Amino acid sequence: MKENYDHCLGLILHHEGGYVNHPKDPGGETNKGVTKRVYENWCIEQDLFQKDMKDLRISDVAPIYKQNYWDRCKCDSLPNGVDLCVFDMGVNAGTGRGARFLQKCVGAVSDGAIGPNTLRQVDEWVAMRGEEDLIVDYSERRRNYYKRLKTFSTFGRGWLRRVEETELEALKLAGVYLQN
């Protein structure tokens, strides 16, 4: 596992927050960013005792994030900073969408699954243009995506703040230091 996974998870959990059950959120009942449906399925698959959603702790959700998001998005194989962007998008809007955004950025086949060809094209992109350009391009695609959603008027400010904070932290992880 990559050395920055725990740091990235902490950033994700900061954005995901605690228990919510917002009537306009299509995800429904959620705690620490994990929906009730995802948590219930995880407990069944892992043969775990299921807690009330309000009682979830980081230790309950961390393995879900690792397997269902970080690993599925091949974040261990992505450059530092890019991994955070793809991980965050995967958590917030689905791993397939997170993968497709990356694939579109680097000119890979946009099939929603990061595999050897996508990783090769990421490496080629970074060699030619650098992590910074990829992080900025990816983040801009995220902003445009959120602005088109019908729930943007309710959640848009938070989504855009999340993208901004993720982009800045991703640039730091990539070794890019911005002037204030």
Is the distance from CB of 97 to CB of 88 less than 8 angstroms?
no
Question: CA 8 to CA 160: how far, in whole Å?
Answer: 18
Tens digit of pLDDT for each residue in 143-158? 999 999 998 998 899 9
Nearest of 120, 119, 126, 159 to residue 141 by alpha carbon: 159
> Can you point out the beta strands (E) in 52-158?
none
Percent of the chain past pLDDT 70, that is, above it, reads 98
> Can you point out the beta strands (E) in 68-180?
none
Cβ burial of 113 (10 Å; 0-12, 13-18, 19+) is: middle
Percent of the chain past pLDDT 90, that is, above it, reads 82
Question: CA 123 to CA 137: how far, in whole Å?
Answer: 15
Check residue 178 and give its pLDDT.
66
Nearest of 89, 116, 87, 111 to residue 100 by alpha carbon: 111
pTM to 2 decimals?
A: 0.91
Averaged pLDDT score across all residues of the chain? 93
Tens digit of pLDDT for each residue in 161-174? 999 999 999 999 99
What is the mean pLDDT of the segment spanning 103-108?
A: 97
**Which of residues 24 and 4 earns the better pLDDT score?**
4
**Which are the contacts of 167, defined by CB distance < 8 A and separation ≥ 6?**
85, 135, 136, 139
What is the mean pLDDT of the segment spanning 41-59?
A: 92
> Hey, what are 69's tokens?
């998001």
Tens digit of pLDDT for each residue in 108-141? 999 999 999 999 999 999 999 999 999 999 999 9
Check residue 120 and give its pLDDT.
98
* Confidence check: pLDDT of 180 > 70: no
Check residue 22 and give its pLDDT.
81
Check residue 34 and give its pLDDT.
92
Nearest of 61, 150, 172 to residue 159 by alpha carbon: 150
* Confidence check: pLDDT of 1 > 70: no
* Confidence check: pLDDT of 23 > 90: no
